[in-house]
């Protein structure tokens, strides 16, 4: 390598680029939310014990105390400054940590004891040999061995003092660990109040991502080392003869920094975002309440992306200056690597944060047309990116959405720049929206009230086998010259011109079990575990129950009622799992589990029994619950999935008269009422779903004489209190000639 390219003019000594002074707190993310760099939580009082600024400056006092205790470090590992303290305040004695047994301590104590015994023995010998009279008092002549005894005493004393000093240092260190670290910090209370007021509601404490904390700290340390080297080069502190070696060392530090960045990026993409997207796919069949809880997890993920993005932006800014002042020495290659890493990170941080439903039905107002006929919402969201100005540079920029077939989606996998044309059968409305930033949680493009419209007259079967996707055309600008151009594709769904339960069942299996995130448009596996199927059935049942009855009704966002373990086991066993505990998914589509009597059109009484597959039986019961038993289901008055034998065993355990509302296992679309009367006799009554259309089940349970002697609804719910009380029959009594008020008390009609 020639020395000529490295012998560049040294920048003026006073020159310090602006990027070296930029505080990470100046970004929109850090200014609005403080987060502890150790535990990654934003709750609690924050302090800044060192010279670190921005995202790396805030830390919980308790977290810092634990870190100092474990690491035995007084200085910050990033900025190298000493942690500031305001006094030495010991913790309460009950909070002191228990001293850990150490062989070294025992060895030092053993040495002190042995050396003390030897010293005592030597002193006794010296006393017997009149050492004091000969050496100190001078009354006797000295002997040659007196010098050896003096030297031995000195050696033993030094050995004892050395071991005592070691033990004393260990004791002092232990006492230091029992002190609280109190840092001087101003205006932290008001800042924290702002953070708490702006924090999003979360039903539970967020899970601390320990892997991200560790990887981000390593990246921050590597960046800090790079920053110190760049600062030295750009400020002219490195002498001219040493510049070549210093630049080589800086390049090596850059390579190590890139490795740390790659590790953190891989964690964010594979272990964080990918896991979230795979769970999003499975929850896309669930209720809006469940989906919203999962959607809120993006706030913490967005914060992690912001932190990493700030490190990338600061590193790119520094390399820009190094490349400018020290050309042709290797900084161009490093800058290119970091830029490519940043481009990859920013592009894949653009996600479809709200997916379309699995089935979209374009049809009329018929009663049996379910959920998918309603309008739906989708959303494109950019995680992080504030450090690169994505939120400010692209606010109000347009995003186009196209309805494409699965064949076009497959072509996009090989060519992201493929020209997109709309489907020939359908069009999507609205097809355009803009990016908006309404809070501190990133920039979003919302497509509200989307619907599918037909272009031509179609038959049901002509489109039932096809799959469609939403394709979003992305074109964004950053303040570092990187342009984000590409297409984002949603999960596949079906577009129908009328309801088809079998298509909806196939899409249910696809969303629940296919690996559509890692392998788009992949096939459904042949077998799944019993636990996975039970969870999927529970979410699908909850979602159908929450379907609005009319397309003018707004979506219901309530916490769904969960299945108990007995219900899940019953549903799984009906699908006949194999000995290994896995379920063939073909059983969901083809296994007959119920029968339906269908009358012949030519005769009013004749008919045949038709076998009903599992999916049809399951979906129909969910529809009946949604339409006729909604309030009773959420009040816990409907037991649900249960066999006749299990119902009888359950009722026998109740000492009083009781009834249990369950779904029929054998007869299609029937509700069974299992009753145990006061004599202990058990009987079963059924209702057709058409019967419930004319009269509510609540009224039937209150007025039907077959349930008049029933006291409870399983398990111990008072029937009259739960349903509003039985109406007493109105008896016409003479009013004018009644002798007194109690005349008719012991009288009643015979029929």
Span 44-98, pLDDT tens digits: 777 777 767 656 677 887 777 777 766 667 777 666 677 665 444 666 777 777 7
Mean pLDDT of all residues in 598-614: 78
**Structure confidence at residue 183 (pLDDT):** 44
Residues 228 and 238: their CA atoms lie apart, in Å, by: 12
Helices of type H across 453-611? 460-464, 501-513, 530-545, 565-574, 585-590
User: Which segment of 171-180, 283-292, 474-483 scores lowest on mean pLDDT?
Assistant: 171-180
**Structure confidence at residue 10 (pLDDT):** 39
Residues 180 and 89: their CA atoms lie apart, in Å, by: 6
Task: Label residue 737 by pLDDT band (50, 70, 90).
Answer: low
Residues 76 and 83: their CA atoms lie apart, in Å, by: 7
**Structure confidence at residue 533 (pLDDT):** 94
Buried b (16+ CB within 10 A) or exposed e, 504-533: bbbbbbbbbbbebbeebbeebeebbebeeb
Asked if 582 and 527 count as a contact pair (C-beta separation under 8 A), the reply is yes
| Alpha-carbon distances of 440 from 40, 198, 443, 527, 641, rounded to whole Å | 17, 9, 8, 43, 45
**Cα–Cα nearest to 448, from 358, 373, 495, 378:** 378
Write down the mean pLDDT value for the chain. 80
**Structure confidence at residue 605 (pLDDT):** 64
Task: Label residue 372 by pLDDT band (50, 70, 90).
Answer: very low
* Beta-sheet pairing, 426-429 with 432-436: unpaired
What three-state secondary structure class fits 474?
strand
**Structure confidence at residue 23 (pLDDT):** 35
| Alpha-carbon distances of 223 from 38, 220, 346, 379, 457, rounded to whole Å | 17, 5, 19, 34, 61
**Structure confidence at residue 15 (pLDDT):** 39
Considering only residues 61 and 459, tell me which one the structure prediction assigns the higher pLDDT: 61
Considering only residues 562 and 733, tell me which one the structure prediction assigns the higher pLDDT: 562
Residues 675 and 664: their CA atoms lie apart, in Å, by: 14
**Structure confidence at residue 624 (pLDDT):** 93
User: Which segment of 151-165, 181-195, 423-437, 693-707 scores lowest on mean pLDDT?
Assistant: 181-195
**Structure confidence at residue 170 (pLDDT):** 84
Percentage of the residues of the chain whose pLDDT score is greater than 70: 76
User: At 236, phi and psi to the nearest 5?
Assistant: 75, 20
Mean pLDDT of all residues in 273-293: 93
Task: Label residue 650 by pLDDT band (50, 70, 90).
Answer: very high
Instruction: Give the burial class of 583: count Cβ atoms within 10 A of its Cβ; 0-12 exposed, 13-18 middle, 19 or more buried.
Output: buried
Instruction: Give the burial class of 68: count Cβ atoms within 10 A of its Cβ; 0-12 exposed, 13-18 middle, 19 or more buried.
Output: middle
Mean pLDDT of all residues in 718-745: 64
Q: Is the pLDDT of residue 167 over 70?
A: yes
Considering only residues 654 and 147, tell me which one the structure prediction assigns the higher pLDDT: 654
Instruction: Give the burial class of 43: count Cβ atoms within 10 A of its Cβ; 0-12 exposed, 13-18 middle, 19 or more buried.
Output: middle
Considering only residues 591 and 89, tell me which one the structure prediction assigns the higher pLDDT: 591
Asked if 624 and 641 count as a contact pair (C-beta separation under 8 A), the reply is no
Return the bridge partners of 489, or none.
471
Residue 54 CA, distance from chain mean position = 25
**Structure confidence at residue 189 (pLDDT):** 30
What is this structure's pTM?
0.69
Instruction: Give the burial class of 166: count Cβ atoms within 10 A of its Cβ; 0-12 exposed, 13-18 middle, 19 or more buried.
Output: middle
Token match 């399951």: residue? Answer: 618
**Structure confidence at residue 694 (pLDDT):** 81
Peptide bond into 430 cis (omega under 30): yes
User: Which segment of 162-171, 268-277, 551-560, 716-725 scores lowest on mean pLDDT?
Assistant: 551-560
Q: Is residue 378 within a helix (H) or strand (E), and if so which, with residue range?
A: strand 376-382
| Alpha-carbon distances of 569 from 28, 99, 667, rounded to whole Å | 50, 50, 20
User: Which segment of 34-38, 387-391, 582-586 scores lowest on mean pLDDT?
Assistant: 34-38
User: Which segment of 249-258, 264-273, 304-313, 735-744 scores lowest on mean pLDDT?
Assistant: 735-744
Q: Is the pLDDT of residue 187 over 90?
A: no
Task: Label residue 12 by pLDDT band (50, 70, 90).
Answer: very low
Q: Is the pLDDT of residue 17 over 50?
A: no
Residues 452 and 436: their CA atoms lie apart, in Å, by: 24
Task: Label residue 145 by pLDDT band (50, 70, 90).
Answer: confident
Residues 509 and 590: their CA atoms lie apart, in Å, by: 13
Helices of type H across 235-296? 243-266, 274-283, 288-295
**Structure confidence at residue 5 (pLDDT):** 34
Task: Label residue 639 by pLDDT band (50, 70, 90).
Answer: very high
Q: Is the pLDDT of residue 373 over 60?
A: no
Percentage of the residues of the chain whose pLDDT score is greater than 90: 38
Q: Which residues make Cβ contacts (< 8 Å) with residue 408, sequence separation at least 6? A: 418, 420, 421, 469, 471
Asked if 321 and 19 count as a contact pair (C-beta separation under 8 A), the reply is yes
**Structure confidence at residue 721 (pLDDT):** 85
Instruction: Give the burial class of 714: count Cβ atoms within 10 A of its Cβ; 0-12 exposed, 13-18 middle, 19 or more buried.
Output: buried
Token match 């009663």: residue? Answer: 367
User: Which segment of 77-86, 201-210, 313-322, 662-671 scores lowest on mean pLDDT?
Assistant: 201-210
Q: Is the pLDDT of residue 181 over 90?
A: no
Residue 98 CA, distance from chain mean position = 36
To 10 degrees, what angle do helices 530-545 and 274-283 make? 60
**Structure confidence at residue 452 (pLDDT):** 80
Token match 């998914």: residue? Answer: 585
Q: Which two tokens stand for residue 348?
A: 């894949």
Considering only residues 149 and 409, tell me which one the structure prediction assigns the higher pLDDT: 409
Q: Which two tokens stand for residue 80?
A: 């190298």
Task: Label residue 126 by pLDDT band (50, 70, 90).
Answer: confident
Q: Is the pLDDT of residue 367 over 50?
A: no
Task: Label residue 30 by pLDDT band (50, 70, 90).
Answer: very low
**Structure confidence at residue 267 (pLDDT):** 95
**Structure confidence at residue 25 (pLDDT):** 35
Task: Label residue 456 by pLDDT band (50, 70, 90).
Answer: low
Residues 123 and 120: their CA atoms lie apart, in Å, by: 5
Task: Label residue 580 by pLDDT band (50, 70, 90).
Answer: confident
Q: Is the pLDDT of residue 699 over 90?
A: no
Q: Is the pLDDT of residue 615 over 80?
A: yes
DSSP character at residue 698: H
Q: Is the pLDDT of residue 251 over 80?
A: yes
Instruction: Give the burial class of 7: count Cβ atoms within 10 A of its Cβ; 0-12 exposed, 13-18 middle, 19 or more buried.
Output: exposed
**Structure confidence at residue 96 (pLDDT):** 76
As a whole number of Å, the end-to-end CA separation of the chain is 115
Residues 542 and 528: their CA atoms lie apart, in Å, by: 21
Q: Which two tokens stand for residue 286?
A: 């669930």
Token match 């390593």: residue? Answer: 218
**Structure confidence at residue 32 (pLDDT):** 42
Mean pLDDT of all residues in 221-225: 92
Asked if 64 and 83 count as a contact pair (C-beta separation under 8 A), the reply is yes
Task: Label residue 245 by pLDDT band (50, 70, 90).
Answer: very high
Q: Is the pLDDT of residue 434 over 80?
A: yes
Q: Which residues make Cβ contacts (< 8 Å) with residue 351, sequence separation at least 6? A: 273, 277, 380, 381, 383, 488
Buried b (16+ CB within 10 A) or exposed e, 463-498: bbebbbbbbbebebbbebebebeebbbbbbbbbbbb
**Structure confidence at residue 342 (pLDDT):** 95
């Amino acid at each position: 390598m020639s020395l000529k390219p490295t012998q560049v003019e040294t920048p003026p000594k006073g020159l310090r680029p602006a990027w070296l002074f930029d505080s990470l707190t100046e970004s929109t993310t850090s200014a609005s939310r403080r987060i502890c760099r150790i535990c990654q939580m934003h709750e609690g009082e924050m302090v800044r014990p060192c010279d670190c600024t921005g995202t790396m400056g805030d830390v919980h006092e308790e977290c810092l105390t634990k870190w100092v205790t474990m690491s035995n470090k007084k200085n910050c590992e990033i900025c190298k400054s000493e942690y500031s303290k305001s006094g030495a305040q010991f913790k309460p004695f009950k909070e002191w940590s228990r001293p850990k047994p150490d062989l070294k301590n025992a060895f030092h104590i053993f040495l002190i004891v042995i050396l003390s015994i030897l010293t005592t023995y030597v002193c006794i010998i010296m006393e017997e040999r009149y050492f004091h009279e000969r050496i100190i008092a001078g009354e006797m002549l000295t002997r040659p061995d007196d010098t050896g005894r003096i030297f031995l005493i000195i050696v033993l004393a030094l050995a004892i003092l050395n071991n005592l000093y070691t033990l004393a240092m260990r004791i002092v260190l232990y006492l230091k660990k029992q002190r609280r670290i109190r840092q001087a910090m101003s205006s932290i209370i008001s800042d924290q109040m702002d953070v708490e007021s702006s924090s999003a509601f979360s039903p539970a404490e967020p899970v601390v991502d320990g892997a991200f904390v560790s990887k981000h700290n390593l990246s921050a340390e590597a960046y800090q080392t790079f920053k110190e080297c760049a600062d030295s080069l750009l400020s002219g502190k490195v002498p001219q003869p040493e510049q070549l070696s210093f630049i080589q060392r800086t390049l090596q530090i850059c390579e190590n920094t890139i490795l740390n960045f790659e590790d953190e990026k891989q964690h964010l993409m594979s272990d964080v975002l990918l896991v979230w997207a795979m769970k999003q796919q499975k929850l896309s069949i669930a209720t809006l309440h469940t989906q919203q809880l999962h959607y809120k997890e993006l706030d913490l993920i967005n914060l992690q992306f912001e932190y990493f993005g700030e490190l990338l932006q600061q590193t790119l800014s520094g390399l820009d200056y190094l490349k400018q002042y020290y050309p042709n020495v290797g900084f161009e290659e490093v800058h290119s690597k970091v830029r490519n890493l940043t481009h990859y990170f920013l592009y894949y941080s653009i996600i479809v944060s709200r997916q379309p439903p699995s089935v979209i039905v374009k049809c009329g107002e018929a009663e049996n047309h379910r959920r998918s006929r309603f309008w739906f919402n989708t959303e494109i969201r950019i995680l992080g990116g504030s450090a690169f100005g994505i939120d400010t540079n692209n606010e109000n920029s347009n995003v186009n959405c196209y309805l494409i077939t699965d064949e076009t989606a497959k072509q996009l996998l090989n060519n992201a720049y493929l020209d997109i044309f709309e489907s020939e059968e359908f069009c999507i409305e609205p097809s355009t929206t803009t990016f908006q930033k309404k809070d501190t949680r990133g920039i979003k493009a919302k497509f509200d009230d989307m619907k599918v419209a037909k272009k031509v007259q179609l038959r049901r079967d002509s489109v039932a086998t096809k799959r469609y996707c939403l394709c979003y055309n992305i074109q964004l600008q950053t303040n570092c010259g990187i342009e984000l151009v590409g297409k984002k594709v949603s999960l596949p769904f079906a577009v129908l011109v009328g309801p088809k339960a079998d298509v909806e069942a196939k899409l249910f299996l696809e969303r629940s079990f296919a690996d559509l995130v890692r392998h788009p448009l992949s096939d459904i596996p042949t077998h799944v575990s019993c636990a996975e199927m039970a969870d999927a059935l529970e979410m699908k049942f909850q979602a159908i129950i929450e379907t609005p009855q009319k397309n003018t009704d707004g979506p219901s966002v309530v916490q769904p009622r969960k299945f108990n373990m007995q219900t899940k086991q019953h549903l799984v066993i009906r699908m006949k799992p194999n000995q290994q505990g896995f379920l063939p998914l073909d059983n969901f589509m083809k296994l007959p589990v119920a029968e339906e009597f269908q009358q012949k059109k030519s005769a009013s009484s004749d008919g045949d029994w038709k076998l009903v597959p599992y999916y049809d039986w399951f979906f129909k019961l969910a529809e009946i619950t949604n339409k006729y038993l909604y309030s009773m289901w959420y009040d816990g008055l409907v037991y649900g999935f249960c066999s006749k034998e299990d119902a009888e065993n359950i009722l026998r355990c109740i000492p009083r008269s009781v009834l249990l509302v369950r779904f029929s296992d054998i007869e299609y679309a029937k509700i069974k009422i299992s009753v145990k009367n006061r004599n202990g006799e058990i009987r079963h009554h059924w209702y057709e779903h058409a019967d419930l259309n004319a009269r509510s089940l609540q009224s039937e349970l209150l007025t039907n004489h077959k349930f008049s002697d029933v006291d409870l609804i399983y398990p111990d719910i008072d029937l009259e209190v739960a349903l509003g009380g039985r109406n007493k029959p109105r008896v016409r009594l003479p009013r004018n000639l009644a002798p007194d008020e109690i005349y008719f008390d012991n009288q009643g009609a015979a029929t």
